[in-house]
Chains A and B, each alone.
Chain A
Amino acid sequence: MSSDILLNVEDLVVRFAVKRGRGFGKNAYLHAVDDVNFTVKRGETLAIVGESGSGKTTAALAVARLVNSYKGKVELNGTDLLTLGDEDLRQARAKVQFIFQDPYSSLNPRLRAGDIVREPMESLGSMTEVEKAERIDFLFEAVGLRPEQQRLFPHQFSGGQRQRIGIARALATQPDVIICDEPVSALDVAVQAQILNLLRKLQKDFGLTYLFISHDLGVVQHMCDSIAVMYMGKIVEYGPRLDIFNAPQHPYTRALLSAVPSVDKARRAQTKRILIPGDPPDPVNLPDGCRFANRCPAAQDICRRDEPELSNGVACHFPGAEL
């Protein structure tokens, strides 16, 4: 079974030095991603959900080595990406591609759409010009754009079309894993559906593996096979899609799910909204114990003392407690 595992992330820590106050005090560190573990199977989708400041995007960037990790392992097909040297890393980038959130800033305004998709093939791989042109034609068709549109510039496309170009670019080097960082949250609702359907169709057709970052639980529910819920840099709950959505254990996951407004009358009737008042703690100066304790309706003394470990898919002293 373990041969199925395409991406294996172990004990990943990403921290940033922050200056506090004046003078030459010791550097404080913000642990944006703190001891995170997850695996993604080939052909499946793992979603990382969380609110702003949870570290989900930083984790994704670290997997693609677009930010530096402090420690940990990111194994793709058994190769640890974090230990690769410059040239090996450059070549390895062909295997990990990124779809960005903002379709307006993710395309170089000076390049034509076709050249944007061509760029990864120029930097990586050894295709002839004819092969590249064929692949661009193929990709444009696959993402639902017409070949004539290759000569247009990004500002001549709508948001949804721009995101299609971004997807085509990500597919260009035939990557093993595609990281989708909030790929639809900047788009209008009707256009979101177009892009989500496209991503699912491409996954089916090409056997793609997605690491899907989102704050939108509805979208996540639709796209993923398993989910990691992050809070303040930690994974608080991790499991298969149905488990998390139908029987969430961690109080934070449950609050998050209960907060999503729904058109489904039955769901509104049966879910009690769990409000979590207050703000997350200062990320540079974390409290002892569970990071969620100060907002958790089920918190006890032990929660403020000992940090819970992730076991059986949940990092909580009282999983499933009455809220």
Chain B
Amino acid sequence: MSLIDPENTLPPARSPLSEAWEMFRGNTAAMLALIVLALIMLCAIFGPWVYPTDPFDMVWAPFSPPGVDGFLLGTDYLGRDLLAALIHGSRVSIVIGLAAASVSILIGVTVGALAGFYRGWVEELLMRITEFFQVLPTLLFSMVIVALFGASLPMITFAIGVVSWTAVARITRSEFLRIRELEYVMASRASGATNSKLMFRVILPNALPPIIVQAALMVGSAILFEAGLSFLGLTDPNVVSWGQVIGSNRQYILDASYTVTIPGLAIFVTVLCISLVGDGLNDALNPKLRSR
């Protein structure tokens, strides 16, 4: 009786990630959004060199409409170039979006992982803290932080991160609770894996898909959050950002609506693309939708 398995075909090794990418590529909307996002990123990275006009310089008469007088997007109430504001402002918006999302992922994953892995009083304590942060009115709380500690970019990032990590913590915890009971985790434990190895090398990688999706969406909401804060004037006055442009031009929304709609559109497109990508990631990373 032969013990060798008779199935002779050997397919190429395909990791779950490469399958997810294949799935993602098939999603037209998500791919388009990804391309647009890439363009926005390129603009944020290289734009200021290509278009070095200082967004704080008063370069022309105020309220020059788009396309007139050689300014593609026109000028604002102080005669500052809106295109320059858009290009230079994309940096701040995107950097704050990414950094704030990273802060909340870091806090959320740590809290959720510890709670889901250790259970017991650790979980009780951490989840009560999470709930405390959940019931705080987020905008108000971040305004308080910024108002108390000053409106520097790191502080704004921190303020946004600190109010938005709770969703990540809950997702991470529930994934940990589910995965820690799976047999492969027990198998790792049975073969002598330490707790830190179980947590970070066995469970966390398998818990990542929904966290990644949440992270993508959070970049979008952090951008919105930053826009909200700077609209209220709670921002570093020496740095231009999309929200700040909207905020400073808000009195003229009726007379020169383009000064508000153009940066608003930039935020809208960016956030829309981010959530389309997040949606695509969700489909691609959800194994139930993947046909075997």
* A interface with B by C-beta (< 8 Å): 64, 66, 90-91, 93-94, 96-98, 100-102, 105-110, 112, 119-120, 123-124, 144-146, 148-149, 151-153, 155-156, 158, 160-161, 164, 166, 169, 172-173, 197-198, 201
Contact = CB atoms under 8 A, between A and B. Distances in A.
B10 A119 contact: no
Contacts of B187: 98, 100, 106-107, 166, 169
B191 A144 contact: no
A14 B16 CA distance: 38
Contact of A98 (B182, B186, B292): B186
B202 interface: yes
Given A148-B10, A161-B7, A105 B184 contact: yes
Residue among B1, B15, B192, B292 having the largest count of chain A Cβ atoms under 10 Å? B192
25 contacts: A93-B190, A93-B192, A94-B191, A94-B192, A100-B186, A102-B183, A105-B184, A106-B187, A107-B187, A110-B205, A112-B13, A119-B191, A119-B193, A123-B194, A124-B192, A151-B13, A152-B11, A153-B14, A155-B16, A156-B11, A156-B14, A160-B5, A161-B7, A173-B191, A198-B3
A90 B194 contact: yes
A97 B189 CA distance: 10
Contacts of A101: 183
A195 to B, nearest CB: 11
A145 B5 contact: yes
Interface string B174-215: 000000001110111111111001000010011000000000
Contact of A158 (B7, B184, B191, B202): B7
A168 to B, nearest CB: 12
Given A108-B184, A144-B3, 9 more contacts: A93-B191, A97-B190, A98-B190, A102-B183, A110-B16, A123-B188, A124-B192, A197-B3, A201-B3
B211 to A, nearest CB: 14
B254 interface: no
Interface residues of B, number: 28
B206 A172 contact: no
Given A146-B10, A148-B10, A108 B3 contact: no
Interface string B1-44: 10111010011011110000000000000000000000000000
A144 B184 contact: no
Nearest to A172: B191
A153 B16 contact: yes
A309 B202 CA distance: 44
Nearest to B5: A144
B191 A97 contact: yes
A108 B192 contact: no
B183 A153 contact: no
A145 B3 CA distance: 9
Residue among B1, B13, B197, B205 having the largest count of chain A Cβ atoms under 10 Å? B13
Given A105-B182, A109-B206, A146-B4, A120 B14 contact: no
Contacts of B182: 105-106
Nearest to A169: B187
Contacts of A148: 10
A160 to B, nearest CB: 8
Nearest to B19: A155
A154 to B, nearest CB: 9
B200 to A, nearest CB: 13
Contacts of A119: 188, 191, 193
Contact of A66 (B4, B184, B186): B186
Contact of B192 (A91, A100, A201): A91
A144 B4 contact: yes
Contacts of B194: 90, 123
Nearest to A100: B183
A153 B189 CA distance: 20
B166 to A, nearest CB: 27
Nearest to A120: B191
Contacts of A153: 13-16
Nearest to A181: B183
Given A105-B184, A155-B16, A197 B190 contact: no
Given A108-B206, A109-B16, A151-B13, A66 B183 contact: no
Nearest to A65: B190
A201 B2 CA distance: 11
A234 B33 CA distance: 61
Contact of B206 (A90, A102, A110, A112): A110
A210 to B, nearest CB: 15
Nearest to B190: A98
Contact of B15 (A93, A110, A160): A110
A164 B3 CA distance: 11
A97 B192 CA distance: 10
A117 to B, nearest CB: 10
A91 B190 CA distance: 10
B159 to A, nearest CB: 35
A169 B192 CA distance: 12
A84 to B, nearest CB: 12
B186 A120 contact: no
A112 B12 CA distance: 12
A123 B205 contact: no
A206 to B, nearest CB: 14
B192 A123 contact: yes
